[in-house]
Amino acid sequence: MFRPRLRALAQAARPCTITASTFAPSTQAIRQLHTPPPSRHSPQVGVPGLLSPQGYELAWTKQMNATLGKLNDLVVGTDFENRELKKIIIDTARVPSLASVFNHASMAHNTDFFFKQLISVPSGGSAAATGPREIPLQLRQAIEDNFGSVETLRREFAAVAEGMFGPGFVWLVKANGLHQSGRGGDNLRLLTTYLAGSPYPGAHYRRQAVDMNTVGEEAADKSGASGSAKQWLDQQGHAITSSTPNPVNGVTPVSTDRRPPGGIDVIPLLCVSTWEHVWLRDYGLGPVESAQESVEPSAGGKAAFVEAWWDVIDWDAVSDLAKLNRPSLVT
């Protein structure tokens, strides 16, 4: 009587790839569980100039299978089964009890966004066919208007990524609703999201723009209370409703604006992942200094990874997302 259970345990111990059929129910109703989207990159070559095949396998294949597998476990039997990742992110951003669902959905979405903006090897081509892409003229002008030069943007990306003490993403976004700068009125800026934070306006309560390990005590000191992390989560739940009751019936309406107070509308254009599993396999920890000597390994750590990432950005894909509103040149 124990053999079926032993066989089941043996099968469970085998490595597997997360697919829709892995979690398919036995009933006739077929659930649309989440699977990794098609990738632009070949597992055999990885991302030439950035990630080896082994590095790509860890950063994309294993990471996405694990993240979406856990997400499927969390949402099985719920309405979230059939929702797109971005919709899940926005719908769960202000519900503390669904923090795990948000984190896994946002992590998978951010990872996919990161890889979609990287140059891929043409079908049937070789790794040598890739190389730095020219930035479309309108996008280049917008970058120069907002950052001074393309080189300045590159340096700012590198500095912000290197300065993040912890994993997350650094984003180039197009901001709406601000005092517009530049010849075309396109406001570009950088922002950070720690861990699985999201840059989308509807999820800005969970943008996670700072490291809560360092913000928590400061917030508690200012309020004179303890347990600041719990207070912060409570605030997110309370933010779902408006603070002004209806003067006629006294009912507090549900807010239709998903942005936090002071939040702005942004369109993500480009991001770089600073998660260690993305760069550690191919780039190591980088230079390590000790009291006796300075060790310079061949791999340059996160800083070298970000430098290499800049050279494999698909600027055409970035420009397509930007939809820049720039005047035509008068001839």
pLDDT confidence bin for 27, thresholds 50/70/90: very low
Residue-wise pLDDT for 176-208, tens only, equals 755 555 555 679 999 999 999 999 987 765 555
Reported pTM: 0.72
If one counts the domains in the chain, the total is 1
How high is the pLDDT of residue 22? 33
> Which DSSP helix (H) or strand (E) runs through 108?
helix 99-116
Q: Is 195 left (phi over 0), alpha (psi -120 to 50) or beta?
A: left
- Evaluate whether 205 touches 94 at the Cβ level (below 8 Å): yes
CATH number for 101:
3.55.40.20
- Evaluate whether 181 touches 238 at the Cβ level (below 8 Å): no
Strand segments (E) across 76-219: 168-176, 187-194
How high is the pLDDT of residue 183? 52
State the average pLDDT over residues 38-42: 92
- Provide the residue range defining the domain that includes 185: 49-121+134-239+260-326
Task: Please check whether residue 249 lies inside any domain of the structure.
Answer: no
How high is the pLDDT of residue 158? 96
Task: Please check whether residue 214 lies inside any domain of the structure.
Answer: yes
What angle in degrees, to the nearest 10, is found between the helix axes of 99-116 and 63-75?
150
The span from the CA of 258 to the CA of 273, in Å, is 25
Task: Please check whether residue 36 lies inside any domain of the structure.
Answer: no
Task: Please check whether residue 169 lies inside any domain of the structure.
Answer: yes
Residue 331 vs residues 145, 158, 185, 311, 328: alpha-carbon distances, Å: 21, 38, 21, 33, 9
Q: Which two tokens stand for residue 156?
A: 């700012």
Task: Please check whether residue 126 lies inside any domain of the structure.
Answer: no
Task: Please check whether residue 40 lies inside any domain of the structure.
Answer: no
Task: Please check whether residue 265 lies inside any domain of the structure.
Answer: yes
